[in-house]
């Protein structure tokens, strides 16, 4: 079983989603929960990685007719589980392995995309797809500024600095301020104007609205894709 009431509170109040969106997510979650034989039970027994991998190949329930939507909903629920970091209420103590963390710490660093480092490597290879003429300006190494580490520092075709902040899964609260903080700190250090991109799988209406009020900041979403290779 999945945490209906807790997820509703998280989705509506923390994420800031509309109730109509919650109703859609809840509908998918009930079918995903049935298909996997209990979401929380499976996460507690097999771990987050196993559930993510299952979602990528599942061909049952909502994954059979609406695979991309079902995977998006599953990723959102996994991020919710990672963020709350609390014991699964529906499970008995004897079902949990003593001393073993319920949620993988690696996943807690960047829920949904298996490791945020993988996302960073993928984006670095496709900067031109993000913006024509965009190239690395950090030598492949995160640049540290007063407010933290910049995921990717790039330059545009006019040789202007561009900060790129990456968030695996949906954009969490505080990411907008974090990105702007990096850009401002870099601008002060370098003495020049700095633009920024914030990239995540999805953004709440609240974040989208706030971003419209900021000059020099753009939001971008990403999607998973499959790549097929011939066996030799």
Is there a single domain that holds both residue 84 and residue 129?
A: no
Q: How far apart are CA 187 and CA 232, in angstroms?
A: 50
Is there a single domain that holds both residue 8 and residue 95?
A: yes
Whether residue 231 lies inside any domain: the answer is no
At 119 the pLDDT is: 81
Is there a single domain that holds both residue 213 and residue 142?
A: yes
What lies within 8 Å, CB to CB, of 98 at 6+ separation is none
Domain that holds residue 79: 4-108
Is there a single domain that holds both residue 94 and residue 168?
A: no
Task: Give one word for 40, left, alpha or beta, with left for phi > 0 and alpha for psi -120 to 50.
Answer: alpha
Task: Give one word for 121, left, alpha or beta, with left for phi > 0 and alpha for psi -120 to 50.
Answer: alpha
- Beta bridge partners, 150, equal 143
Would the pLDDT of 113 be above 70?
Answer: no
Is there a single domain that holds both residue 95 and residue 162?
A: no
Is there a single domain that holds both residue 120 and residue 104?
A: no
Last residue of a domain, one of 71, 86, 108: 108
pLDDT, tens digit, 9 for 90 and up, residues 182-225: 999 999 999 999 999 999 888 999 999 999 999 999 999 886 55
pLDDT, tens digit, 9 for 90 and up, residues 149-190: 999 999 999 999 999 999 877 788 889 999 999 999 999 999
- CATH code at 170? 3.40.1350.10
Torsion sign (Cα): 22, 24, 26, 29 = negative
Is there a single domain that holds both residue 88 and residue 141?
A: no
Place of tokens 């001393």: 99
Per the structure, the count of domains in the chain is: 2
Is there a single domain that holds both residue 130 and residue 170?
A: yes
Last residue of a domain, one of 67, 91, 108: 108
At 72 the pLDDT is: 85
Place of tokens 């490597």: 121
Whether residue 25 lies inside any domain: the answer is yes
Whether residue 152 lies inside any domain: the answer is yes
Measure CA 8 to chain center. Answer: 19
Q: How far apart are CA 87 and CA 90, in angstroms?
A: 9
Last residue of a domain, one of 86, 108, 130: 108
Whether residue 228 lies inside any domain: the answer is no
């Amino acid at each position: 079983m999945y945490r209906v009431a807790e997820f509703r509170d998280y989705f509506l109040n923390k994420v800031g989603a509309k109730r109509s969106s919650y109703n859609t997510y809840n509908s998918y979650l009930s079918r995903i929960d049935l298909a996997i034989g209990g979401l929380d039970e499976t996460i507690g027994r097999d771990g987050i990685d196993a559930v993510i991998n299952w979602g990528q190949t599942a061909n049952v329930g909502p994954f059979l007719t609406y695979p991309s939507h079902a995977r998006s909903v599953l990723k959102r629920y996994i991020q919710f589980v990672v963020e709350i970091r609390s014991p699964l209420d529906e499970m008995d103590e004897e079902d949990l392995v003593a001393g073993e963390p319920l949620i993988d710490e690696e996943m807690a660093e960047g829920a949904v995309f298996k490791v945020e480092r993988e996302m960073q490597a993928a984006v670095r290879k496709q900067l031109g797809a993000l913006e024509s003429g965009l190239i690395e300006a950090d030598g492949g190494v995160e640049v540290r500024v007063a407010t933290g580490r910049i995921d990717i520092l790039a330059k545009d075709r006019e040789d202007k600095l561009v900060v790129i902040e990456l968030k695996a899964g949906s954009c969490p609260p505080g990411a907008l301020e974090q990105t702007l903080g990096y850009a401002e700190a870099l601008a002060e250090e370098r003495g020049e104007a700095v633009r920024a991109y914030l990239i995540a799988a999805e953004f709440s209406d609240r974040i989208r609205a706030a971003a419209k009020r900021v000059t020099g900041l753009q939001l971008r979403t990403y999607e998973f894709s499959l790549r097929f290779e011939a066996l030799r």
